[in-house]
Structures are given as structure tokens and as C-alpha cells.
Amino acid sequence: MLKRESLRDQIREEIRTRIINGELTESTGISEIELAKQLGVSRTPLREALITLEQEGFLEASPGKGFSVLPMNKSEYLNLVPIIGALEKLTLLACPKLSKEEAAELRDINAELLATDQLRDHKERITTRLRTDLLWHEVLLERSTNDKALQLLRQLKAQWRRYEYIFWEYTDTTERSVREHEEIVKALLAGKSEKAGELIDKQWRLCLVDRIGERVP
């Protein structure tokens, strides 16, 4: 059973996780009664969470039918990738100079990302990779003074997480991602923010080169 504090946010995160890892799909639909029972919560915070997930682009609501999971599509994937890359570059350029302490934290997270290759359970390996990579980018960019870019980025990356699960499931790019992260850290420590911005944008564009969109309906 979920804790009472920030209940709506906890419910939203739990449902979003189930959508991301494929436990809830467009073919299963959403039974509010059954879901409330599974989570041990009342219908009111559950419905609030579902409405928020609709606004984030995970669900759609139909009159008389309730909520259902929005299907993924190649067009959304191809549109999201370059926009997120450009926004991360813009957000990074508005960050102060990276300190040695901040660089050490990013490298620690990067080491954790590399270590996910050692996890034997497939689902655990993928979800841990996704979470760790997301954390690396958040720690890097949360220092930005461009609050608007950060806000837009978080909204878009919430939608991207569904596709990122597929990315980590069907590609073996952990070592490459770790190398790319390290190149970005080195560029920032050297005061080369423009180069770091280009590198982070390039990292996103490589998602298109990998053609993961072909695995999306």
C-alpha cells in the first residue's frame, strides 16, 4: 500500500512506471476500480493522478469509457528526440561552470550506469539503466538558470521515458553513453560549454541513427 504523503504524485509515478515498462498498454485499458484496489487508495487521488497523466501525454480520456493508455507512435518519437536534444543544449549553456565536486558526482552516477551491465535480471537491468541515465542528465542540468527551458524539458522527457525504455531494451549502448557523458564532463571542466552543448545534442541525435523508432508502431 502506498504512503499517504504526496499520495497523488506517488500514484502518478506508479502508474507511469507501469506504462513505461509495458505493464499497462493501450490494449489493456484502465479500470479505476481495480487499480484503486491494487494500490490501496481511494478513487479521488487516483483520478487526479490519471488526469495529470493525461496532461503529460500518457493517457487519453473518452466520454463514457474512462482512461486508456495512449499508443506510442513513430512520429512522436521522431519529433521528440531532436527537440529534447536542442533543449538540453540550451539548458546546459545556461549552467554555471561545473565544479570539481559536481563533476565527481556526475562521474559516480556514470559509474553506476556502467555497472548496470552486470545486472542479470533483464527487466531490472533496463529499468535501472533508464533511472540512472535520467538521474545523470537531471544532475547535470538542474544547475541551469533557464527555468523555462528546464520546465519544458521535464515535460517532454516525461513523454520520452516510454520510448527510452525501448531504447535501453533493444540497444546495447551503455558503454557508448558512459563515454559520451565523460566527454561532456571533460568539456565543461575545461570551460568549453559550447562544445559540451554540441556533444549533448549529438548524443540525442544518435538515438535517431540507432533507428529505435523502427521498433515503435
Residues 114 and 63 in one domain: no
Higher pLDDT, 65 or 13: 13
Structural domain for 15, as ranges: 7-69
Same domain, 51 and 80: no
pLDDT confidence tier of residue 217, bands split at 50, 70 and 90: low
Residue 91 has pLDDT above 70, yes or no: yes
Q: Are 114 and 140 in contact (CB under 8 A)?
A: no
Please report which confidence band the pLDDT of residue 2 belongs to, taking 50, 70 and 90 as the band edges: very low
Claim to verify: residue 63 and residue 88 sit in the same structural domain? no
Q: Are residues 63 and 92 in the same domain?
A: no
Residues 133 and 153 in one domain: yes
Between 210 and 195, the more confident residue is 195
* Domain count across the chain: 2
Taking alpha carbons only, the member of 101, 57, 62 closest to residue 79 is 57
C-alpha cell at 195: 562544445
Closest alpha carbon to 4 in 56, 42, 30:
42
Give the confidence band of 215 by pLDDT, cuts at 50, 70, 90. low
User: What is the identity of the amino acid at 175?
Assistant: E
